[in-house]
Amino acid sequence: RATKRADSDIIGFVASTNKLPNILLPERIHPRGQSLLEARGNVIIPKAPDEATLLSLVHDVDAIVIRALTRVTRRLMEAAPQLKVVGRHGIGVDNIDVEAATDLGVWVVNTPDAPTEPVAEHFLMLALMLQKHFAFTKRVLDTGDWSIRMDRPGRELRGRTVGIVGFGRIGRRIAEICCLGFGCQILYADTIDGGERAATLAARRVPLDQLLAESDIVSLNVPLIAATRHMISTRELNLMKPTAYLINLCRGPVWDEAAVCEALKTKRIAGAATDVFETEPAPADHPLLQLDNFVATPHSSSSTEEALERMSLVAEDVIAVLDGQEPRWPVNSIGAARMA
């Protein structure tokens, strides 16, 4: 039915029989995960992931598998009466209305373990780039004026205090790398105690204000929810050491970009780095990108060959739900009554 209803919006359709469930795939994923979906159902690949296009396709869709560019809204799910599951390729579910999904009896599943290693490694890359003044030294190379190359001597990571805001999978892995590899002292702020994992690293749980005041490098690793939106703004930046660095590897709105930009311009903090922006894609003339104490990457921290394959295996949980089973990595709970 999907091919007849909106041919102009579809660029790919893999089907064995119309008796199989329909799976909407707005953004292509690693072949391993996509092949699992294709073996289980009719995979519909639209021309674009915008809501208008998706609304024309979802009436008889049983599953939706998304990445970062697609938003699954209440409106979209209400237009899909057969919808059973939304699979998130990755961790963050801020682009899915999870409350609406729960209300409508739709499972939301993700891949919480898949991006841990590449994002933790990305933190290390950005931390070293900040401490070695990468943006400044690149300007030296671009201009050819080597006479200023010694104006900003770098700093070593070894022995620094690293503050981790959000001690989940990624935060803990960052702590391991910094503690065991570089002899760093670890502070963390979280609503939940880190338990044995924190104890083995001698990581101390402290209030956020204390973490900001005492850390040489601060890593933001929290989900984007109402309580974390702009959790780092002018007041919090003023608590940090002027020699400290701030790194955002979660979501752009977790920090106040305007406040971060002002703190960097006035040298209130030594530098900052991010993989995410409040609006993506970030424009080339973004104020932060003009600063030589700022480093950024284009929301690519989890984009390794290995992680992309692991994230595509959200397909396994999607298939489990389509087969009437409970998923391994549920974000919400819809209860047995609604599964029936």
Active site residues: 251, 280, 299
Instruction: Kindly list the distances between the CA atom of residue 336 and the CA atoms of 34, 106, 107, 311, 326, in Å, as whole numbers in the listed order.
Output: 28, 12, 12, 27, 9
Please write down the HEC assignment for all residues of the chain.
Answer: CHHHHCHHHEEEEECCCCCCCEEECCCCCCHHHHHHHHHHCEEEEECCCCHHHHHCCCCCCCEEEECCCCCECHHHHHCCCCCCEEEECCCCCCCECHHHHHHCCCEEECCCCCCHHHHHHHHHHHHHHHHCCHHHHHHHHHHCCHHHCCCCCCCCCCCCEEEEECCCHHHHHHHHHHHHHHCCEEEEECCCCCHHHHHHCCCEECCHHHHHHHCCEEEECCCCCCCCCCCECHHHHHHCCCCCEEEECCCHHHECHHHHHHHHHCCCCCEEEECCCCCCCCCCCCHHHHCCCEEECCCCCCCCHHHHHHHHCHHHHHHHHHCCCCCCCECCCCHHHHHC
φ, ψ of residue 10 to 5 degrees: the values are -115, 130
Which pairs count as long-range contacts for 47-56, CB under 8 Å and 24+ apart, including other chains? 47/8, 47/9, 47/10, 47/11, 48/9, 51/75, 51/76, 53/9, 54/24, 54/26, 55/79, 56/5, 56/6, 56/9
Go through the chain and tell me how many residues it has.
340
